[in-house]
Amino acid sequence: MEKKLMSKKKPSFPVQDFLFQYLKKCNRDITIPVFYDDLLRFSGSVAVYDKNEKDTLWVSVYYSDSDRSELDSSLKKIYTILFSDGDDEIIQFLNVDAIDYCTFGNSKPFRIKIRNILNDNTTYFYIKRADASRIYGLELEHILSPNRINFVVHGDTLVEEHISGIPGDIFIENELENLDISSKTQIAKEFVKFNERCMMLLLGDMRSYNYVIIPTHDFDKVIYKIRAIDFDQQCYEGNLKVYRPQFFKENFKMVKMVAEYLQETSIEQYRKEERSLLAKRMISSKDRLNSVLRCMLKDHISSSSNLKELRLQLYELTYDMKFKRCKSMGQIVKTTLEFIKRNYENVSTHKGVGI
C-alpha cells in the first residue's frame, strides 16, 4: 500500500535564513557544542536488540577514547540546553550511558541516553540533520496540537526531546486485543481525532511505528492518547491519503475497531470536536502561527508535481477555489487552516456563541 501512497524517499530541505530568524525569535535557534556530523565519526557499532532478542534496527556506536571524552562533555551540555536553559551546575551529575544510531528511515538519527547518577533516572534525546519540512511539522504540532514539543536547531543540526509512550505497532500487536470494550471504544475515539488532526495539519506517514499510545490512569480507568513522534513527512506528498492514518495497512486493526465500536454519528461528532479545538488554538496562538506560516509561504518544501496533485485533491474535497490557486505547500497549509477557522466561525455565529 505504501508504494502507491508515497514516494520512495523524501529529500531533505535546507533551513533558509528566514526560518532561522523565526527560530531565533522563538528561542529555538541556540548555539550547541556538537553537530550531527561530529557524531558520524564513530569507530564501530554493535546491533541493539530488544528484551525479546529482536533486532531494533538501531546500533550502539563507540568512539576513540579522546573523541568519546569530548563528545560526552558536549552531549551533557546539550542536555542542559534542552532541559534546563543551559544550567551547568547539573552536568556533574550526568552520565552519557549510550549513543545509538538508527540506520532505518530518512532522518538517520542518533539517540542519546543520559542518566542522572544521583537517582538513576534516564532521559533520551535525538540529534538529526536539520530538515526544513520536519521543523515546520514540529512547530505546527507545538502550536496547534494538544502537545508541546521541546527542540532546538543550530546550523545543520536538529535536537529533539524524546516523546514517551508505547510505540503504536507494539501496542497494536501486544495489547490491543486484551483491552475491555470501554478501553477499545476510547482508543477508537482517539484514533478518529488523531486521523482528523493529521489531515488538517497535513502531517503524513502516520504508520503505527510513527506514533505512540500514551496510557494515563484516571481514577478507576485508563485514558489513552495518541501522539505523533515523526514529523519527517510534513506537507511533502501529493496524495491526500498520505495525511490520513486510516489508509495505512499498519493501522488496519485501529480502523476495524473504529468501525466496530463507533457509530457514524459519533465519528462525525469527534471529527467536528477536533476541528473546533484546532480553530480555537489558531485563535489563541495567532501571532506565532502567522509567523511560521509566513516562512512556509516562501519556502520550497516539496515538488511541483506533489503541489499540483494535492491542491487538486483538496479542491475536489472542499470545492474551495483558493486551493486551486495555491503556489506552495505552505500556502496549502494556510488555506486549509483558514478553511477550518472559517467553518468554525460560521458555526459559532449561527449558534450565537461567538469566538
**pLDDT digit string (tens) for 229-245?**
999 999 999 999 999 99
| pLDDT higher than threshold 50 for residue 288 | yes
**pLDDT digit string (tens) for 117-168?**
999 999 999 999 999 999 999 999 999 999 999 999 999 999 999 999 999 9
| pLDDT higher than threshold 60 for residue 351 | no
Select from 168, 166, 170, 76 the least CA-distant residue to 123: 76
Q: Evaluate whether 281 touches 143 at the Cβ level (below 8 Å).
A: yes
Give me the pLDDT at residue 220, please. 83
Task: Parse the chain into domains and list their residue ranges.
Answer: 14-161, 166-350
Q: Which three cell numbers stand for residue 178?
A: 486484551
Helix, strand, or coil here: 220? coil
**pLDDT digit string (tens) for 169-196?**
999 999 999 999 999 999 999 999 999 9
Residue 247 DSSP one-character state: G
Around Cβ 315, how many Cβ atoms within 10 Å?
Answer: 17
**pLDDT digit string (tens) for 23-71?**
999 999 999 999 999 999 999 999 999 888 888 889 999 999 989 999 9
Task: Please give the share of the chain, as a percent, with pLDDT higher than 90.
Answer: 86
Contacts of 249 (CB under 8 A, 6+ apart): 1, 2
| pLDDT higher than threshold 60 for residue 312 | yes
Select from 226, 250, 204, 203 the least CA-distant residue to 6: 204
Q: Evaluate whether 143 touches 288 at the Cβ level (below 8 Å).
A: yes
Give me the pLDDT at residue 343, please. 82
